[in-house]
Amino acid sequence: MQKADNWFDVPKPGITYALNAVDVPFEFKQLVMTFVMDSPWNHYVDGSLTSQTLRMAEVLGVSPANLRLTQGADGALRQLLDHPSTGAVLRPQNGYPGYSKWTQEIANKITYPDDASSGQIRAAAKAADVNCGTPLIICWPGNPIENSETVSDEGLRSLTEVFDVIIDATYLSVLSDEFADLVRAGQRHNLSVVFSFSKALGIPGARIGGIIGPEVRRPPISRLEKFPWDIFQLAVVEASLDPFGSELLRQRHHQISQLKLGIVVNLHAGGARTYAGSGNNFVTVKLDDDGNSVCGVDGFVGKIYRDLNVIRLDSCAENLELSASIAG
């Protein structure tokens, strides 16, 4: 087996799949490849993903009746919003780029500030005169900022009184305690939580996502409908649920957590101010009134949000090294 720049080549000529060559442990790729080659290629993929749903539900600590697996988190959001009665939607001003695409067929799109409280969201909806039961997307962790009050029990109680709440937890690791707490909160308040099993673990090319929510939101899968996953995606799930593969991913999750912690410590030592976001994948740094930050901009891996006066830095080794240079 050989590693290429951005692809992992399998022994059989002509077969490749996209697992990033740097971020994903090589041993995990080997395990995925084993499951790919051992798959019954002469069988149709189970469109209902029955076996995978049962096993994933056990890992996530939920009932299989409340879990639906999808093509990435964007596929999950499309399913929740793709309903004839969806005439309006509330969403954060920034959030993720896909929001504009996923809501393009919805006539009335109301945005609210990324760090708005539950009361401010309700006020924005009232001002826009939207109907009770309108879908509300809460991006958690926010991109690039959020308000933790909105996912507290008090905040969710206030919001679910008025809206059909959807929490987009795409960048929250499914292996984290924060995700488990969010799922339990979702179950208490009868709302939907969207997740990405692959992106939050550093394997976004696999596009494995899902919905955890009320059973009534599980639309039936037609035999004519396109199978939600292919053999490669099934192999990634099998590798992820395998004891050895699961341990590799947990190590990866711990590594990202430590990277973020190290970056935050270095930035604080250098005088920078950060938001206490719950996502492991990035660190949001506040800019001063002049749009500058003690950490600077050049060289860091991330994105600047001038309208919010923040920089979102990726939790990666490059940023850890650069942040160490300003820690003093």
User: Cα torsion for 121, 127, 130, 131, to the nearest 10°?
Assistant: 90
Do residues 61 and 163 both lie within one domain? yes
**7 pLDDT higher than 50:** no
Residue 231 confidence (pLDDT): 81
Cis check for the bond before 144: say yes or no (omega within 30 of 0): yes
Residue 212 confidence (pLDDT): 94
User: Cα torsion for 314, 308, 178, 96, to the nearest 10°?
Assistant: -70
In-domain check, residue 13: yes
Q: Is 53 helix (H, G, I), strand (E, B) or coil?
A: helix
Residue 292 confidence (pLDDT): 60
Do residues 197 and 103 both lie within one domain? yes
Q: How many CA atoms does the CB half-sphere of 14 hold within 13 Å? A: 0
Contact (CB, 8 A) for 180 and 206: no
The better pLDDT of the pair 18, 289 is held by 289
pLDDT tens, 108-128?
888 899 889 999 999 999 888
Do residues 26 and 174 both lie within one domain? no
pLDDT tens, 310-327?
888 888 888 898 888 887
pLDDT tens, 210-228?
999 986 455 544 444 455 6
In-domain check, residue 277: yes
Domain of 76, in residue numbers: 50-230
The better pLDDT of the pair 286, 227 is held by 286
pLDDT tens, 87-103?
788 989 877 767 777 67
In-domain check, residue 310: yes
**pLDDT level of residue 8 (50, 70, 90 thresholds):** very low
Do residues 287 and 199 both lie within one domain? no
Residue 220 confidence (pLDDT): 47
pLDDT tens, 234-272?
888 889 889 999 898 888 888 888 999 999 999 889 888
Residue 123 confidence (pLDDT): 93
**284 pLDDT higher than 90:** no
In-domain check, residue 92: yes
Residue 93 confidence (pLDDT): 85
Residue with tokens 């969806």: 86
Residue closest to 141 by CA, chosen among 102, 196, 103: 196
The end-to-end CA distance of the chain, in Å, is 43
**290 pLDDT higher than 80:** no
> Which residues lie across from 274 on neighbouring strands?
285
In-domain check, residue 58: yes
SS3 content of the chain, % helix, strand, coil (to 5): 40, 20, 40
Do residues 217 and 186 both lie within one domain? yes
pLDDT tens, 36-86?
888 876 777 776 788 888 888 988 889 998 998 888 888 888 888 876 566
In-domain check, residue 15: yes
Q: How many CA atoms does the CB half-sphere of 79 hold within 13 Å? A: 25
Contact (CB, 8 A) for 305 and 311: yes
Diameter of the chain by CA atoms?
Answer: 62
**4 pLDDT higher than 50:** no
Q: What's the CATH code of the domain at 98?
A: 3.40.640.10
Looking at residues 196-200, what average pLDDT do you find? Answer: 77
In-domain check, residue 270: yes
- Rounded to two decimals, the pTM is 0.83
The better pLDDT of the pair 136, 21 is held by 136
Residue closest to 178 by CA, chosen among 164, 195, 165, 159: 195
Residue with tokens 């305690």: 177
Looking at residues 263-283, what average pLDDT do you find? Answer: 83
The better pLDDT of the pair 213, 144 is held by 213
pLDDT tens, 11-38?
334 434 445 445 678 888 889 889 888 8
Supply the mean pLDDT for the chain.
80
Distance CA 286, CA 309 (A): 6
Do residues 165 and 313 both lie within one domain? no
